[in-house]
């Protein structure tokens, strides 16, 4: 509990820091309103990605892979690239934020569910998932590579907005829509928090304890993918966020109770985004996408963690 | 009738070489302009110019690239003792790319040789970090090693993205790194001949790599200077990666798939397989290149796309067959 309140404190401090740093009090109302908008978007993304990643990791019994790392992000990018290259007459799809949002969210959820349902029904071993993940990721990114060369530099600049998560240009109405969708889905996940404690023991133990493992997992995968897809469609891909948040929560809280883990992940997710965005705005002067910053930190942490877990 | 093993082995290599030669000839002849055989040696004719500035360089560089990529994949798999490691999934290609990005962003001198050097240097550094890290892994579980490589690769690429984003040449860089043989013409591909040096080294040290694949303590026991062999392997792979990234761009899957294919039919002895791996790499790359030129003839699809998609299909079939519950 002490550690949970520590995390809570970190979140509050980063929130305060982000909202009030470098404040111009003459136009306080305007600045605070703009910043609050971004904060709400960050909270939606941080909480959605955190919750879904933790759930995904617990049910697949691994601490390394996340839906984003397994190719969901490159799929999103491929969709955005395809819209501009294949259907240049439908460029409105990229420009109309509402259409783009709904199509991206729906398609991502659909494709991810199909792929992972197929994978999961075939074999629930992590080894198998890694393979499919590598393969899917490589295929999507080799298609992306070609599309990226084909488009003109002007269009490329347009797509670049979609390539990296950006909290500065989020649509207000879409924030509300995502809040409603993800809020409803999150309730589903949170209600299953005790079941998660059992599922995280693995397939054999769960079945032994009387849980219909395969059915429950399939039922949980859908909310996981909805959360990731909606938040990706809202701001763009933040590949390492989920990985970082879920692992950090586990390391700090050192518990297997998902009630606490869920709260912890959300807080880490939100504070990472707040602190990252803070640095981007005040230190890098917007010259660095937040997802790249998180990739650098997340990647380093990942390698550190892998080494620590496997120390000789 | 008994056919001895060596006979089969020799026959197989002969077949591979024959197939390679046939494909190479087809590759020389395929193109928008059809060549007149009688005119090729005739200086000043159109056929002569096309043949010597475009067709021959292209086919030669495919042969060198296919050979280099698949053999450096094989060496990487042997020294990391893991079948899922390859230059693209261990960060060494990402390292070479970072080297080029750093050069473009910070050093105002443009020379291919300098570019090669930077690509080599960064590729070497990342590869050394990778081998250093996997040496410290306690449980060399099958998935941890490639996972570590992928993460390292992602980390290095994010730095590259950062540099390119900052200096606004992201699209140019992506175009460059995307493997394609369409720009290989005389005057701008000669660097790829450098691959011959590390390949010679690879054949000289083939036995040492085979022994090194049984692990540090065992191979040291057998009288091998393990650390040096690993270093040589890493250097070979870095030179190859630097050449390929600078001249062609990155080609996914090849370094991963070819050694595994050869292992399927010929077992795990690097010393015996090294030629097979190289030849098969050339053959696959020649076929992919022909496809990339013929699918939307007279235009071209970049080879990275063809290899990426073919590789995916191949993998999914393998997974589909092997992964049944």
A306 touches chain B (CB under 8 A): yes
| Residue A263 predicted with pLDDT over 60 | yes
In the DSSP assignment, the letter for residue B32 is S
What's residue A99's pLDDT? 81
Question: Which of A121, A142, A312 is closest, CB to CB, to B252?
Answer: A142
Structure tokens at A261: 């883990």
| Residue A302 predicted with pLDDT over 80 | no
CA A77 to chain centre: 14
pLDDT digits (tens, 9 = 90+) for B38-62: 777 777 788 888 888 888 999 999 9
Gap from B93 CA to chain A (nearest CA, Å): 14
Cβ atoms of A131 and B319 within 8 Å: the answer is yes
Question: Which residues of B are less than 8 Å from A122 in CB distance?
Answer: 323-325
Alpha helices, DSSP H only, in chain B? 5-29, 46-50, 56-79, 92-106, 112-136, 144-166, 170-177, 196-204, 206-212, 216-221, 226-247, 254-266, 270-294, 303-322
| Residue A297 predicted with pLDDT over 50 | yes
Gap from A307 CA to chain B (nearest CA, Å): 6
What's residue A50's pLDDT? 92
A195 touches chain B (CB under 8 A): no
| Residue A294 predicted with pLDDT over 90 | no
What's residue B88's pLDDT? 79
The answer to whether the Cβ–Cβ distance between B147 and A310 falls below 8 Å is no
Question: Which residues of B are less than 8 Å from A307 in CB distance?
Answer: 133, 136-137
Q: Which residue has the higher pLDDT, B88 or B19?
A: B19
The structure's pTM equals: 0.82
Nearest residue in chain A measured CA to CA from B164: A288
C-alpha neighbours within 13 Å on the C-beta side of residue B66: 28
| Residue B319 predicted with pLDDT over 70 | no
The answer to whether the Cβ–Cβ distance between A310 and B150 falls below 8 Å is no
What's residue B324's pLDDT? 45
Mutate to test the interface with B, among A63, A149, A279, A311 (most CBs of B within 10 A): A149
How many contacts (CB atoms, under 8 Å) link A and B?
123
| Residue A268 predicted with pLDDT over 70 | yes
What's residue A88's pLDDT? 61
In the DSSP assignment, the letter for residue B250 is B
The answer to whether the Cβ–Cβ distance between A299 and B323 falls below 8 Å is no
Least trusted range by pLDDT, from A130-144, B62-76, B204-218: A130-144
Gap from B261 CA to chain A (nearest CA, Å): 16
What's residue B325's pLDDT? 37
The answer to whether the Cβ–Cβ distance between B165 and A122 falls below 8 Å is no
In this predicted complex, what is the ipTM?
0.76
Gap from B130 CA to chain A (nearest CA, Å): 10
Gap from B76 CA to chain A (nearest CA, Å): 18
Alpha helices, DSSP H only, in A2-96? 2-20, 28-60, 73-86, 92-95
Gap from B274 CA to chain A (nearest CA, Å): 25
pLDDT digits (tens, 9 = 90+) for B245-302: 888 888 888 888 888 888 877 777 788 889 999 999 999 999 999 998 888 877 888 8
Backbone torsion region of residue B177, taken as left when φ is above 0, otherwise alpha when ψ lies between -120 and 50, otherwise beta: alpha
A142 touches chain B (CB under 8 A): yes
Nearest residue in chain A measured CA to CA from B175: A149
Structure tokens at A124: 């629930």
Question: Which of A130, A131, A146 is closest, CB to CB, to B302?
Answer: A146
What's residue B1's pLDDT? 43
The answer to whether the Cβ–Cβ distance between A145 and B150 falls below 8 Å is no
Mean pLDDT of chain B: 84
Angle subtended at Cα A240 by Cα A216 and Cα A139, rounded to the nearest 5 degrees: 80
For chain A, percent of residues with pLDDT exceeding 70: 92
Q: How many CB atoms lie within 10 A of CB A89?
A: 7
Cβ atoms of B289 and A122 within 8 Å: the answer is no
Mean pLDDT of chain A: 84
| Residue A122 predicted with pLDDT over 70 | no
The answer to whether the Cβ–Cβ distance between B166 and A287 falls below 8 Å is yes
Burial B182-207 (b: 16+ CB within 10 A, else e): eebbeeebebbebbeebbebbeebbe
Question: Which residues of B are less than 8 Å from A312 in CB distance?
Answer: 136-138
**Domains by residue range for chain B, with CATH:** 68-322 (1.10.3470.10)
The answer to whether the Cβ–Cβ distance between A299 and B151 falls below 8 Å is yes
What's residue B300's pLDDT? 84
Instruction: Among A125-129, A265-269, B30-34, name the most confident range.
Output: A265-269
The answer to whether the Cβ–Cβ distance between B162 and A139 falls below 8 Å is no
The answer to whether the Cβ–Cβ distance between B138 and A287 falls below 8 Å is no
For chain B, percent of residues with pLDDT exceeding 90: 25
Question: Which residues of A are less than 8 Å from B105 in CB distance?
Answer: none
The CATH class for the domain spanning A2-309 reads mainly alpha
What's residue A287's pLDDT? 77
Distance CA B216, CA B276 (A): 26
Closest CA to B84 of B98, B69, B73: B73
CA B47 to chain centre: 31
The answer to whether the Cβ–Cβ distance between A143 and B305 falls below 8 Å is yes
Least trusted range by pLDDT, from A129-138, B198-207, B300-309: A129-138
Average pLDDT over residues A74-88: 80
pLDDT digits (tens, 9 = 90+) for B84-139: 788 877 888 999 999 999 998 998 877 888 988 999 999 999 999 998 888 777 66
Question: Which of A145, A300, A302 is closest, CB to CB, to B304?
Answer: A145
| Residue A47 predicted with pLDDT over 60 | yes
């Amino acid at each position: 509990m002490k550690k949970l309140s520590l995390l809570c404190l970190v979140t509050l401090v980063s929130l305060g820091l982000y909202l009030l740093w470098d404040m111009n009090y003459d136009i306080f109302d305007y600045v605070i309103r703009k910043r609050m908008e971004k904060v709400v978007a960050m909270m939606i993304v941080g909480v959605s990605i955190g919750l879904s990643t933790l759930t995904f990791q617990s049910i697949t019994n691994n601490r390394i892979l996340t839906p984003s790392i397994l190719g969901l992000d490159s799929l999103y990018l491929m969709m955005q690239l395809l819209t501009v290259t294949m259907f240049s007459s439908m460029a409105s799809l990229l420009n109309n934020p509402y259409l783009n949002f709904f199509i991206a969210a729906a398609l991502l959820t659909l494709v991810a569910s199909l792929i992972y349902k197929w994978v999961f029904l075939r074999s629930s071993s992590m080894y198998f998932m890694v393979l499919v993940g590598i393969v899917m990721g490589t295929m999507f990114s080799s298609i992306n590579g070609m599309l990226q060369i084909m488009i003109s530099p002007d269009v490329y600049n347009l797509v670049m907005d979609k390539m990296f998560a950006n909290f500065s240009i989020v649509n207000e109405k879409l924030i509300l829509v995502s809040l409603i969708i993800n809020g409803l889905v999150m309730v589903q996940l949170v209600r299953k928090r005790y079941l998660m404690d059992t599922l995280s023991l693995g397939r054999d133990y769960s079945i032994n304890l009387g849980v219909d493992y395969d059915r429950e997992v399939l039922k949980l995968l859908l909310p996981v993918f909805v959360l990731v897809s909606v938040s990706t469609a809202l701001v763009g891909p933040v590949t390492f966020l989920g990985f970082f948040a879920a692992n950090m929560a586990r390391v700090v809280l050192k518990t297997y109770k998902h009630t606490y883990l869920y709260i912890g992940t959300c807080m880490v997710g939100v504070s990472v985004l707040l602190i990252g965005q803070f640095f981007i705005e005040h230190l890098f002067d917007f010259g660095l996408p937040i997802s790249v910053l998180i990739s650098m930190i997340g990647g380093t942490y990942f390698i550190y963690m892998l080494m620590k877990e496997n120390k000789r | 009738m008994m056919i001895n093993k060596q006979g089969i082995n020799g026959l197989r290599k002969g077949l591979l070489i024959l197939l390679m030669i046939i494909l190479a000839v087809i590759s020389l002849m395929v193109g928008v302009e059809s060549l007149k055989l009688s005119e090729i040696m005739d200086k000043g004719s159109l056929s002569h110019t096309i043949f010597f500035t475009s067709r021959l360089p292209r086919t030669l560089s495919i042969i060198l690239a296919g050979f280099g990529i698949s053999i450096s994949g094989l060496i990487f798999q042997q020294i990391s003792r893991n079948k899922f490691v390859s230059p693209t999934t261990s960060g060494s290609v990402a390292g070479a790319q970072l080297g080029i990005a750093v050069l473009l962003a910070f050093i105002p001198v443009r020379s291919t040789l300098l570019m090669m050097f930077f690509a080599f240097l960064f590729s070497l550094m990342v590869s050394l970090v990778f081998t250093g890290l996997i040496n410290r892994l306690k449980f060399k579980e099958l998935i941890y090693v490639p996972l570590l490589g992928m993460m390292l690769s992602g980390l290095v690429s994010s730095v590259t993205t950062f540099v390119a984003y900052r200096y606004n040449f992201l699209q140019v860089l992506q175009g460059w790194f995307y493997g394609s043989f369409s720009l290989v013409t005389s005057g701008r591909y000669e660097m790829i001949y450098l691959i011959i040096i590390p390949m010679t080294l690879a054949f000289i040290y083939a036995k040492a790599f085979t022994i090194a694949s049984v692990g540090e303590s065992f191979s040291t026991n057998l009288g091998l200077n393990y650390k040096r062999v690993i270093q040589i392997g890493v250097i070979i792979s870095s030179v190859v990666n630097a050449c390929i990234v600078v001249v062609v761009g990155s080609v996914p899957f090849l370094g991963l798939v070819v050694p595994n294919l050869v292992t399927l039919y010929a077992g795990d002895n690097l010393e015996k397989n090294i030629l097979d791996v190289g030849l098969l790499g050339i053959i696959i790359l020649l076929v992919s290149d022909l496809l990339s030129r013929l699918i939307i003839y007279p235009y071209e699809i970049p080879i990275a796309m063809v290899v990426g998609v073919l590789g995916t299909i191949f993998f999914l079939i393998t997974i589909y067959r092997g992964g049944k519950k």
